[in-house]
Structure 1
Amino acid sequence: MAPSVRIVALGGLGEIGMNCLAVECDGRIAVVDCGVMFPNEAIGVDVIVPDLSWLVARKEQVGAIYVTHGHEDHIGALPQLLAAVKAPVHVPRFARALLEGRLREAGVQADLREVRPGEVRGAGDGAPLSAEFVAVTHSIPDACALALRTPQGLLFHTGDFKIDEAPVGGRGFDLARVEALGREGVRLLLSDSTNSERPGSSLSESEVGAALDHAFERSRGRIFVACFASNIHRIQQVADAARGLGRRLALLGRSMEQNVRLASELGYLKLAGWQLCSLEEARELPPRELCVLTTGTQGEPRSALARLSRGEHPSLEVQPGDLVVLSSRYIPGNEIAIGEVMNALARLGAEVAYEEVRPLHVSGHAQEGEQRRLMQLTRPERFVPIHGEFRHLARHAQHASAEGVQHRHLLVDGEVLELSDGGARVLDERAPVGRVYADRDALGAAVEEAVIGDRRQLAEAGLCAVVVCVDRASRAVVRGPEILARGVAGLSSGGTALRGEVLRALEELPPAVRQDRAALEEALRLAVRRWFRREGGRKPEVLPIVLEL
């Protein structure tokens, strides 16, 4: 009887980002990816990482960490994990270069082991788990799927993928190997669900080049292109289009500068010797001789593109007649922020071009046709959709049903699927999961959930502070109450009534209670909340302050 295998979903099942999965067998654990997600609300934190306590509590059992590719939603939380879990990390070449920088910034030492497609890596001495890395196409170099060999058969984890028949540079999708694994027998397929709601197949990355050429040829001013800094193939096409017109290339944004440098050093990016220029040189170039690559595709307020749109960038400014190309897809939740940036750029007199107007971007994720093609190649016995919000997972499961996959398991974060000789079942036990709000530059400096809750409350209803001065001996009110409000609606016309409510609440307190400063402050808080609730149902955050004189 073979030992059972448990699939533990720690992130990325029920949301976009924060991907992390654990495979457990016979007391040994292999981890697949460990990423972050970015907040789509203004709550004062840089990133959100998964709750890694389940892995930390079993750190002695973790024999390997497998990385499928170098996007932040797959490697961004590894510094937090590796600070506590000392396991070797098997990682493709470009992802390793990106991860080394992240770990160096965090001051974390790690055992990084570079791996190439076709290589097999075990999960520690004597572990019944191993992974073969299989080349796939995505929007970053060296992306891989994983063929995980276990006592319960072969598990195929796609990572993020698309089936690009004409990729820009690098290896193509190793469909022959995937088909061979399908003939061998795939017990369980775990497949990227991000674009499951999109019918058909995604366009090839190479098709963006022609659209960029067309847009660039018509421009008579400077050209600004915003794209993901990790999309090296897109950066190459922008550089090629600019070079064809004699335009030099300037870089805006820390991640853009770092990734272009890394990709050039590793040979993924090929630029003409004359093409890169400094920002000082860029300011002096004629408009028709400059192309600028910038970060800020999602409207991030502090990004280079957003600062350009506000006229606040210290090095360059957008002028009438310039062309701004958004070569990216909207991440759900960012539409308003992106729209504001686009409107601001248009007000500056720039022409703004984006995906809906012409094919200036293609997704790096498989659509329905590619997802179903992968099922046809692997012919899995069972299927688990991964990487997506629940509606994406559910739609992907429908595709699997249409392809004749009888056993489909819809998991969400925290759930555990057990494979055994008798079949498969979702266990009653759940792994602790959740979101940890963190500052990227301060490893381990988590922001508590209560703080996030307070910030949301302040953003929704504002803050009302009430200050009262009382005599230390008699406890009589000698000054106030003073009402100080920020972001509170409905107070301007009701300040006098609120002060009366506060005074009555204090007068009704028994003498013994009035001696307790904490009791006085609680009475103030309740009186203010009661008045706002009665006057309009508003619930601002209340800060009571009692000063003793």
Structure 2
Amino acid sequence: MSEKLKIIPLGGLGEIGKNMTVFALGHDAFIIDTGIMFPANDMLGVDYIIPDFQYLRDRTDLKIHGVIFTHGHEDHTGAITHVIEAFPGTPIWATPLTAGLVEVKLRNAHLLGDTKINKFNAGDMIDLGPFMVESYHVCHSIPDCVGFGINTPYGLIVYSGDYKFDNTPIDGKKPDYAKLAEFSQRGVLMLMADSTNADQPGWTPSESIVTEAFDDAFKVARGRIIVATFASHISRIQQVANMARQYGRKLAIAGYSMTENVKMTRQMGLLDIPDEMLVDIGRIDDWPPEKIVIMATGSQGEPAAVLGRLATGRHRHLDVEVGDTIIVSAHTIPGNEEMVNRTINRLFQRGANVIYDPIAPVHVSGHARQEEMRLLINLVRPHYFLPIHGELRHLKEHAKLAIQSGISADNVFVVENGVVIEADEKGVRLGNRVPGGYVFVDGHGVGDVGPVVIRDREILARDGFLVVVADIDQQSGELLYTPEIITRGFIYLREADELLQQVKEVFTHVVEENHDESLNKLRSLAEESIRHFLYNETKRRPMTFCVINEH
């Protein structure tokens, strides 16, 4: 009996971000993309989220022939260090720009020696064990993007990656319509296509309209111009460099990740910025404000990134000056709206003129809208359809488009992370479910912060904590000294003398009434009594702890 083909989405289905998909046939497998996701506002202290690839850890019989990348954005590459750390020796395949971005990550994590990075160009074939993968060029908001045609024993599967049909791209490289038509002629078993903009009608505008918007902004700017975007948005950096050259301005790069990416892409010849145009961020005061452009990170309102530090006056080299023009050239990732809006408001407060979408078209989406999605479906004409890369609402809308385009409703699958799709001689169907949840990364900790810790952080953020420290006599169980109270985030100490005195009285009463109880029982009774008292008095529930020492 032939082995079933299994497609296991570990990220990107039912959410925006952390895209990662495993293709497995018997004991052989490969991975498409290893992305991260930004935490939601209620995920306190979490730096980012990576896919749960415990399924791969458990499948010790599985040979992973490689990780192949569609493009270099963080939601497709950001978790590569974690994957290589878990599976050292796994080779990587990527287009030149993506390979360079991935190399920077691996070098910073001291993991370059644990893998081999193989470069390929759009149109090349990639041999991954029993899989022969054909790459083809797609347009997105970063150069060197590809989709894949995956040849399997049961038919051809087309994986779109992030795409849009941009016929006037900045780099002049148009979508590979011919390859898509060729796939169709050969027969496509299943199409797996990006769903990010499935709820938006029409066509996504071309990247070229951003150049016009930048031109309008540069014409009227009288002071410095600061452009914030993703550190990996190389085509946007090139557009800004072109504008700086046109208007006789110097260009400075702010932010470690963007600086590293610019250095790498210039060495590769993928970014055209003359040496004489670049200036060190620490020396921008050597030129008048009207002669400076600064590229910066922080377009998602991240507090630690350059724009977030500028908004709060915490950047060591830069400060917002009255007359600065700040352009936020990035789409706000769902969940980041509050942080982005707060950052923009603070920049206005500090005297800057902030330009952002939809005020001006300084950014366009890199993802297809409904008419482009219909075009892809009609070009490829798949027998089965699996919408990927989107929240559940996006996947549902994309599924409707597929059915409207003539694909049988029985052959359209809307699934979330962890649901296995199986293919064999009889066709494609849904299989079992494997873990496909969140793995939180907090500092150097990976996966050691779970829902319980997040819930505790929410309570601490909302109500604070209160600790009672006391010493009791080991023999009699009586208090030796007046209890000490430590509290943070709960009540303003200078105005809480009466309340805290009452807490001491509640604690003392519990000790006096229960001095025959064990230390653990006494601690539990005291904490419960204090919690009950505090809620009755304040209608708040701070985390309450009693530290009782016997002497």
TM norm structure 1: 0.94
User: Any conservation in 1 of the 2:440–2:446 contact (CA below 8 Å)?
Assistant: no
Cα distance in 1 for residues equivalent to 2:117 and 2:467: 52
Runs (4+) off by over 6 Å: none
SS of alignment partner, residue 419 of structure 1? strand
Cα distance in 2 for residues equivalent to 1:23 and 1:291: 45
Q: CA offsets per residue over residues 394-426 of structure 1, 9 Å max, x none? A: 111111111111111011111111122223322
Shift of 1:451: 3.0
AA of the residue aligned to 2:99 = R
Cα distance in 2 for residues equivalent to 1:52 and 1:26: 18
User: Any conservation in 2 of the 1:121–1:130 contact (CA below 8 Å)?
Assistant: yes
User: Any conservation in 1 of the 2:331–2:365 contact (CA below 8 Å)?
Assistant: yes
Q: 1:58 to 1:174 in 2, by over 3 A?
A: same
Shift of 1:166: 0.8
Shift of 1:524: 2.1
User: Any conservation in 2 of the 1:3–1:152 contact (CA below 8 Å)?
Assistant: no
Q: CA offsets per residue over residues 223-278 of structure 1, 9 Å max, x none? A: 11111121111111111111111000011101111111112111221123421111
Cα distance in 2 for residues equivalent to 1:506 and 1:446: 36
Question: Of 120, 124, 127, which residue of structure 2 is paired with 1:122?
Answer: 127
Query: 2:425 corresponds to which residue?
Result: 421
Matches within 5 A, 1:267-416: 267-406=269-408, 407-416=411-420
Q: Does 1:88 align with 2:94?
A: no
AA of the residue aligned to 1:419 = A
Q: CA offsets per residue over residues 261-319 of structure 1, 9 Å max, x none? A: 11211122112342111124311211111111111101111111111122222212221
AA of the residue aligned to 1:408 = V
CA RMSD of aligned residues (A): 2.0
User: Any conservation in 2 of the 1:11–1:413 contact (CA below 8 Å)?
Assistant: yes
Q: Give the stretch that moved more between structures: 3-12 or 185-194.
A: 3-12
Query: 1:105 corresponds to which residue?
Result: 108
Cα distance in 2 for residues equivalent to 1:433 and 1:353: 38
SS of alignment partner, residue 251 of structure 1? strand
Q: 1:353 to 1:175 in 2, by over 3 A?
A: same
Cα distance in 1 for residues equivalent to 2:95 and 2:502: 67
Query: 2:261 corresponds to which residue?
Result: 259
Q: CA offsets per residue over residues 115-145 of structure 1, 9 Å max, x none? A: 2112222222xx2x22111111111121110
Matches within 5 A, 1:158-169: 158-169=160-171
Query: 1:134 corresponds to which residue?
Result: 136
Cα distance in 2 for residues equivalent to 1:460 and 1:393: 35
User: Any conservation in 1 of the 2:477–2:515 contact (CA below 8 Å)?
Assistant: no
SS of alignment partner, residue 538 of structure 1? coil
AA of the residue aligned to 1:57 = D
Shift of 1:347: 1.5
SS of alignment partner, residue 276 of structure 2? coil
Query: 1:17 corresponds to which residue?
Result: 17
Q: Does 1:509 align with 2:514?
A: yes
SS of alignment partner, residue 96 of structure 1? helix
Shift of 1:497: 4.0
Query: 1:437 corresponds to which residue?
Result: 440
Cα distance in 1 for residues equivalent to 2:282 and 2:256: 16
AA of the residue aligned to 2:126 = R
AA of the residue aligned to 1:332 = P
User: Any conservation in 1 of the 2:32–2:70 contact (CA below 8 Å)?
Assistant: yes
Query: 2:64 corresponds to which residue?
Result: 62
AA of the residue aligned to 1:410 = V
Query: 2:249 corresponds to which residue?
Result: 247
Cα distance in 2 for residues equivalent to 1:26 and 1:75: 26
Q: 1:185 to 1:533 in 2, by over 3 A?
A: farther
Q: 1:443 to 1:148 in 2, by over 3 A?
A: farther
Cα distance in 1 for residues equivalent to 2:448 and 2:126: 33
AA of the residue aligned to 2:45 = G
AA of the residue aligned to 1:13 = L
SS of alignment partner, residue 479 of structure 1? coil
Q: Give the stretch that moved more between structures: 344-353 or 34-43.
A: 34-43
User: Any conservation in 1 of the 2:254–2:295 contact (CA below 8 Å)?
Assistant: yes
SS of alignment partner, residue 470 of structure 2? strand
Extract unaligned runs of 5+ from structure 1: none
Q: 1:353 to 1:34 in 2, by over 3 A?
A: same
Q: CA offsets per residue over residues 471-513 of structure 1, 9 Å max, x none? A: 22211123334333222269946434433433333334361x2
AA of the residue aligned to 1:346 = F
Question: Of 455, 458, 461, which residue of structure 1 is paired with 2:457?
Answer: 455
Q: 1:490 to 1:221 in 2, by over 3 A?
A: closer
Cα distance in 2 for residues equivalent to 1:170 and 1:539: 60
Q: 1:147 to 1:534 in 2, by over 3 A?
A: same
Shift of 1:388: 1.2
User: Any conservation in 2 of the 1:226–1:325 contact (CA below 8 Å)?
Assistant: yes
Q: 1:499 to 1:288 in 2, by over 3 A?
A: same
Q: 1:137 to 1:545 in 2, by over 3 A?
A: same
AA of the residue aligned to 1:416 = V
User: Any conservation in 2 of the 1:4–1:420 contact (CA below 8 Å)?
Assistant: yes
User: Any conservation in 2 of the 1:80–1:443 contact (CA below 8 Å)?
Assistant: no
Query: 1:52 corresponds to which residue?
Result: 53
> Percent same amino acid among aligned pairs?
37
Q: 1:258 to 1:446 in 2, by over 3 A?
A: farther
Cα distance in 1 for residues equivalent to 2:510 and 2:9: 52
User: Any conservation in 1 of the 2:101–2:232 contact (CA below 8 Å)?
Assistant: no
User: Any conservation in 2 of the 1:283–1:316 contact (CA below 8 Å)?
Assistant: no
Shift of 1:56: 1.9
Cα distance in 2 for residues equivalent to 1:187 and 1:489: 63
SS of alignment partner, residue 201 of structure 2? coil
Cα distance in 2 for residues equivalent to 1:501 and 1:450: 29
Cα distance in 2 for residues equivalent to 1:445 and 1:418: 29
Q: Give the stretch that moved more between structures: 232-241 or 59-68.
A: 59-68
Q: How many residue pairs were aligned?
A: 541
Q: CA offsets per residue over residues 85-124 of structure 1, 9 Å max, x none? A: 2322221111111111111222221022112112222222
Shift of 1:46: 2.1
Cα distance in 1 for residues equivalent to 2:505 and 2:310: 50
Q: Does 1:183 align with 2:185?
A: yes
Cα distance in 1 for residues equivalent to 2:399 and 2:542: 44
Q: Does 1:198 align with 2:190?
A: no
Cα distance in 1 for residues equivalent to 2:363 and 2:479: 66
Shift of 1:148: 0.8
User: Any conservation in 1 of the 2:421–2:430 contact (CA below 8 Å)?
Assistant: yes
SS of alignment partner, residue 15 of structure 1? coil
User: Any conservation in 1 of the 2:523–2:548 contact (CA below 8 Å)?
Assistant: yes
AA of the residue aligned to 2:509 = R
Matches within 5 A, 1:448-487: 448-487=450-489
Cα distance in 1 for residues equivalent to 2:321 and 2:539: 47
AA of the residue aligned to 1:81 = V
Q: 1:443 to 1:270 in 2, by over 3 A?
A: farther
Query: 2:26 corresponds to which residue?
Result: 26
Shift of 1:24: 1.4
Extract unaligned runs of 5+ from structure 2: none
